[in-house]
Amino acid sequence: MSKRTMPEIVTEGVREHRAVQAWLQVQSDSWEPSSLELLQRRRYSTVYRLNHAKQDSAKVIAKRCLTATAHIERMIYEELLPLTRMPVLRCYGLLEEPEAEFCWFFLEDAAGARYSQQLSQDRALAGYWLAETQLATVSTDLKSCLPNRELDHYLHLLRGCRAMLLHHLSGGGLSVEDAMVLRKVATHIDVLESQWSEMEEICSLIPPGLVHGDFVIKNLRIRDTATGPALLVFDWEFAGWGVPAADLAQFIDRAASPELSIYCSILKRERPHLDSRDIQAVAACGNLLRLVDQISWATVGQESVSPSQLVKAITLLRCYVPTMVAALNAFRWSQHD
């Protein structure tokens, strides 16, 4: 759910809702939920919260998504995250739809305090969580099991975005202002690609590992435990195996902005040669990779639409232009520190 919008709540005909029908098949001994909330709707996934779905009045997250994605998320929750010995959300199972392309995936609701990138203690938890997760999973043979999140993945996205922008610029029909936005973004993409070899060198300082892919405040909660506050991380829809830089992005959009000094101090257990400047440089790369993801999400599926259908995409791209300038400048500065 983005930007604290109010969820859509269903209180009548709950049992007939397909999310509830799927839940009662997966957990036949569970209670019928008293209501459900629509939390998020994306291109390939829809997320609901089922209220009072278990005997202890617990809430359950029901996610309809691609079956392949659900199996990856389930593996992360049940096999990888337990290696960290930190709190992990419980999976309740999944149910494939008859066509098998989509399924229902059920997960413990991440109850807890909202994460704030403005609170140093929250950022410290995020830095600790990322480093411990990376060290716990780095030795696992996951490259063939998870989607590619190496730098070539981002370069492919970058080039696809530029092709889409140039296609619309060459076709006409755009207003002068909209064409200027697309042209600016295409120019910044050219500049970013010209820095790619430097990014590869910097990102090689940290070993590849499990990448969340959308490590932002809406996907984090803080839960009190017997040993103190713990970070809960969810929504692994964009997860993969590759460079962890994007998860380290700092104060760009809604990025968690983990505390880099904490992250570095823990990672030095296995990589003692690392210092804070190295991690800051990787995070500067992460800001750029986060922007690549954002631009890709804004433009995906827009190649063949008419200029009049580009309103939302162009609005987003217009917002990204100053952020791209700042991120490119920060990257250059990180190379000279």
- CATH code of the domain in which 286 resides: 3.90.1200.10
Instruction: Tell me whether residue 245 is in a domain.
Output: yes
- Split into its structural domains, the chain has a count of 2
pLDDT of residue 55: 67
Same domain, 230 and 215: yes
Instruction: Tell me whether residue 56 is in a domain.
Output: yes
Final residue in a domain of this structure, among 84, 109, 134: 109
Cβ atoms of 134 and 244 within 8 Å: the answer is yes
Same domain, 83 and 186: no
Q: What is the CATH number of the domain that holds 65?
A: 3.30.200.20
Instruction: Tell me whether residue 171 is in a domain.
Output: yes
pLDDT of residue 1: 38
Same domain, 52 and 87: yes
What's the token pair of residue 310? 């580009």
Series of mean pLDDT values for 10-residue runs along the chain (337 residues)? 59 86 88 88 91 81 96 96 95 93 96 95 98 89 89 97 94 92 97 97 93 97 94 96 96 95 95 93 97 95 89 96 96 79
Final residue in a domain of this structure, among 82, 109, 136: 109
Instruction: Tell me whether residue 3 is in a domain.
Output: no
